[in-house]
């Protein structure tokens, strides 16, 4: 149970970009909690991504701003430099995860226990998960493979989310099912994405705020960070 409740909602956002500032403001407005996954060696970098033939700003938050921007939420590992861990040897996997964890702990002043796998496509496998489990202080790792189930998952080192939050149709459909549930066992609704994706379409920020308003402040739901919900 989650603080005496059978249902919990949590959010996860990757890459520590400046759009996270606006996302945090919206989360706070509706009393929601999220985990933000950070590449410590990329903090402060600037640039653009081309998505759907558009140039989208992809400027990273500065190291000195991490603690106050994400105050009240959770900071988690996203590796030092965002490589696909399935292509690396054991030593480099451990370095990418553990050194990122240590760097982030210095910035925020608390123990870092969570992680999201970086890169798209096939970005995790059993080998990588086992290496992280046996050789780091990480307690859970989120994939990018969506699942239809709200059940509590046994394998936290290949933890599957429910929906990418830019897929508004699926997200609302799952949210309605989740809200209507009256479960006898704990259930988790896990939503993930990147806040810079909200800039792809001018309506995205309004849509995500409308969703936050719809899903928030319900008496039978616990709203927490990944750490609070999973551990």
pLDDT values of the chain reduced to their tens digit, one per residue, 231 residues? 899 999 999 999 999 999 999 999 999 999 999 999 999 999 999 999 998 888 999 999 999 999 999 999 999 999 999 999 999 999 999 999 999 999 999 999 999 999 999 999 999 999 999 999 999 999 999 999 999 999 999 999 999 999 999 999 999 999 999 999 999 999 999 999 999 999 999 899 999 999 999 999 999 999 999 999 999
- Looking up tokens 């949210």 gives 175
DSSP state of 23: H
CB burial string 203-219: b at 16+ within 10 A, e below: ebbebbbebbeebeeee
Please report, for the chain, the start and end positions of each structural domain, with discontinuous segments joined by +: 7-230
Regarding the domain delimited by 7-230, which CATH topology (the fold level of the hierarchy) does it fall under?
Answer: TIM Barrel (3.20.20)
Asked whether the beta carbons of 39 and 117 are under 8 A apart, the reply is no
In whole angstroms, give the CA distance from residue 221 to residue 39: 31
- 208 token code pair: 């995500």
pTM of the model: 0.98
- 59 token code pair: 């400027």
Asked whether the beta carbons of 123 and 144 are under 8 A apart, the reply is yes
Q: How many CB atoms lie within 10 A of CB 78?
A: 26
């Amino acid at each position: 149970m989650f603080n005496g409740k059978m249902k919990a909602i949590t959010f996860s956002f990757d890459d520590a970009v400046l759009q996270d500032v606006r996302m945090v403001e919206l989360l706070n407005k509706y009393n929601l909690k999220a985990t933000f996954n950070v590449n410590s060696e990329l903090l402060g970098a600037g640039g653009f991504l081309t998505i759907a033939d558009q140039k989208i700003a992809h400027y990273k938050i500065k190291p000195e701003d991490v603690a106050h921007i994400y105050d009240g939420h959770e900071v988690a590992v996203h590796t030092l430099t965002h490589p696909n861990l399935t292509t690396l040897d054991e030593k480099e996997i451990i370095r990418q995860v553990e050194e990122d964890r240590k760097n982030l702990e210095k910035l925020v002043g608390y123990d870092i226990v969570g992680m999201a796998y970086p890169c798209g496509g096939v970005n995790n496998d059993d080998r990588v998960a086992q290496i992280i489990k046996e050789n780091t202080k990480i307690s859970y790792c989120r994939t990018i493979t969506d699942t239809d189930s709200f059940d509590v998952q046994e394998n936290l080192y290949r933890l599957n989310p429910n929906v990418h939050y830019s897929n508004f149709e699926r997200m609302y459909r799952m949210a309605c099912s989740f809200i209507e549930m009256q479960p006898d066992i704990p259930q988790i609704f896990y939503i993930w994405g990147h806040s810079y994706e909200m800039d792809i379409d001018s309506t995205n920020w309004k849509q995500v705020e409308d969703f936050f308003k719809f899903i928030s402040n319900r008496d039978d739901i616990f709203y927490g960070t990944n750490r609070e919900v999973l551990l």
